[in-house]
Structure 1
Amino acid sequence: MRYPLSGLLTVAVCAVLAGASSFAAITDWLHDLDEQARDRLGFDHGVPVGTTVWRLLTRLDDGLLSTVLAGWLTARAQPVTTPRPRRYRTVIAVDGKTLRGARRSDGGQVHLLSALDTSTGIVLAQVTVSAKSNEIPAFAPLLDAVETVLGTLTGLLFIADALHTQTAHADEIAARGAHLMIPTKGNQPTLFAQIKALPWPDVPLGDRRRDTGHGRRETRTVKAITVHTPGGIRFPHAQQAIRIIRTRTTGGKTSRETTYFTVSLPAEQAQPADLQDWARREWHIENHVHHVRDVTFREDLHQARTGTGPAVLATLRNTSIGYHRTNGEANIARATRRANRRPHDLITAVTSTYTTTQ
């Protein structure tokens, strides 16, 4: 029997929006639909068994699926109506995640590199890192995928961890009209030494923030210095060097951490208060996406390993998180439970241009 491809893809998206965390759970969601819902999806002559759903989802082009679903989420996201700060800038956080339960035939684990729009909570792109490589060669394809979804990278600010403090990355981003804020650590010892040796004691304090919560007190101070001058630091397109000191007190014990960054924006476009905010956004993809995929969708326990199955499921989970974030949901687990009770609303959301279903 033949089944509609669009119907099967809609089922996969809707089921994960409703909390399904595996191929079997996606099939169960379809089988639990009432007759009217099945008819709406084109399954008026029966529904596929689990192996059919599995075969389809493990053979999809995961990159194309990520682009299509990210474009759909971006198009349906509510436009911003509140005034934005004068120096507002869209910040894209880049980070990788290993799918610990998904192993290739050679025993290696599947690793994905993703880009998150920190203002909307939408994962704009995701690429699979080659089994014999690392995240660095995957950076340019990730930018390509983001550009496909948004149409342009002009004016965007990318943030990532120190692994991506690479001159080629800085050149690539600058060539596309975007900007880069990146930490500097031991993997770039010359650059790290240059920034650390700057006259920080003579630089006035730019911004200080204090936070309390979870039995912890934290103070973060920011200093920034212009380096885009003759004899400045040797990193392409760097306009400012940044020092952020985090002092934490937990249970009577105090620790201090100093981190150095570069940013390709001048001081008039990136004040210390902005830099403070942007540095914290680097953690959004870990805390708001990867952690949720592990806790709510139990990703690391899932042992999908065939074809593109691991990446496809990760893309569907990203879509679920982004969908609920754009609906104003903070608790994704609660949002998926609510969505699971309203299958017809989910089908309407995925198959029409309606903007809300909750």
Structure 2
Amino acid sequence: MITAAVCAVVAGCRSYTAIAEWVADLPADTAMLLGIDPDRRPSESMIRRLLQTVDPDLLAATIGRWLAARTPAPEPGSRQAIALDGKTMRGSRSRTAAARHVLAAADQATGVVLASTDVDSKTNEITRFDTLLDQIGDLRGVVVTADALHCQRDHVAYLTGRGAHWILTVKGNQPILHQQLAGLLWQHAPEADRDTNRGHGRREIRTLKILSVATGIQFPHAAQAIQIRRRRRRLDQPRRFTTETVYAITDLQTHQAKPWQLADWIRGHWSIENKTH
């Protein structure tokens, strides 16, 4: 019945009554595929009572484990990358309740959400970090990417304990660390990767530089600093560029990841941010 309810919601149903009507209209062979007796279809009250008793966190964890077991293994010589992203769920706001905010962990290669957890008004994404990743069985060798909110020492300690690697964006919430990164000798560092693309009426050039930070950066386990510079211009205004500089840190050593891999994982994280809702 839960599978049928999920299918109904995907088909556009937004109420228990609509779900019950969708189930009632199913062809007999489709109902049987969903495990429903065509001659004894569940009523609206039965569907409502069942769905209201389901533990959402347990259901999300179960689905995440099922999807993780079916996610293709990375190719030899590569690593799985998992992006952490928080999103406010579209369509979840009502007259009596605020919109749901969810922190999700998605496989970068497939976009499959491997785990998710609610972030209610009494907490925040930072406190749900461990709870989210506890749902994923094995993180050894995996690269976890996250935005600046999760550039936290406790998070790094957790990932290190799980045997995972990480790439974390650094912004103003870590002012001393951000200042240290901005003050590195980037002008003497060669470009390690360059990417150009066009889309949505604009052209963007992304360059990436990498510096080793064995000393001088006050953040545990940081091995390399990354500078990403994005220059954009509208195609109808070829002489007007805007430039954005973003910094990141990683525990990956130079022998553990090539520059193009770091660039791919950072781009993959931004891609996931645009896809998960």
Q: TM-score, normalised by structure 1?
A: 0.70
The Cα shift of 1:57 comes to 2.0
The count of residues paired between Structure 1 and Structure 2 equals 272
- 1:69 matched to 2:69? The reply is no
The Cα shift of 1:107 comes to 5.0
Q: Deviations over 1:311-348 (max 9, x none)?
A: xxxxxxxxxxxxxxxxxxxxxxxxxxxxxxxxxxxxxx
Distance 1:190 1:263 in 2: 17
Contact kept? 2:206, 2:229, Cα under 8 Å? yes
The Cα shift of 1:62 comes to 1.2
SS at match of 1:208: strand
- 1:19 matched to 2:11? The reply is yes
**Counterpart residue identity of residue 245, structure 2:** T
- Written as runs of structure 1 = structure 2, the 5 A alignment for 1:98-247 is 98-99=88-89, 101-102=91-92, 107-147=97-137, 152-228=138-214, 231-247=215-231
Q: Deviations over 1:51-76 (max 9, x none)?
A: 43233223311122112222333334
**Counterpart residue identity of residue 268, structure 2:** R
- 1:281 matched to 2:268? The reply is yes
Contact kept? 2:87, 2:276, Cα under 8 Å? no
The Cα shift of 1:20 comes to 3.3
Contact kept? 2:213, 2:225, Cα under 8 Å? yes
Counterpart for residue 93 of structure 1: 83
SS at match of 1:155: coil
**Counterpart residue identity of residue 272, structure 1:** P
Q: Which has the higher helix share?
A: 1
Structure 2's unaligned 5+ residue stretches are none
- 1:42 matched to 2:42? The reply is no
- Written as runs of structure 1 = structure 2, the 5 A alignment for 1:203-352 is 203-228=189-214, 231-250=215-234, 251-252=236-237, 253-290=240-277
Q: Structure 1 residues 263, 48: closer, same or farther in 2, change over 3 A? A: same
SS at match of 2:232: strand
Return the structure number with greater relative CO, CA threshold 8 A, min gap 6: 1
Counterpart for residue 303 of structure 1: none
**Counterpart residue identity of residue 222, structure 1:** L
Q: Structure 1 residues 71, 107: closer, same or farther in 2, change over 3 A? A: closer
Q: Deviations over 1:272-295 (max 9, x none)?
A: 2112111111123332232xxxxx
The Cα shift of 1:50 comes to 2.6
Q: Structure 1 residues 287, 171: closer, same or farther in 2, change over 3 A? A: same
Distance 2:29 2:90 in 1: 39
Distance 1:75 1:90 in 2: 13
Q: Deviations over 1:177-204 (max 9, x none)?
A: 0011011110000000011111111111
Distance 1:104 1:193 in 2: 42
Q: TM-score, normalised by structure 2?
A: 0.89
Structure 1's unaligned 5+ residue stretches are 1-7, 291-358
**Counterpart residue identity of residue 123, structure 1:** V
SS at match of 1:242: strand
The Cα shift of 1:104 comes to 8.3
Q: Structure 1 residues 124, 232: closer, same or farther in 2, change over 3 A? A: same
> Percent identity of the aligned residues?
42
Contact kept? 1:159, 1:182, Cα under 8 Å? yes
Distance 1:198 1:119 in 2: 32
The Cα shift of 1:85 comes to 6.9
SS at match of 2:261: helix
Distance 2:116 2:260 in 1: 30
SS at match of 1:224: strand
Distance 2:249 2:72 in 1: 33
Distance 1:101 1:284 in 2: 22
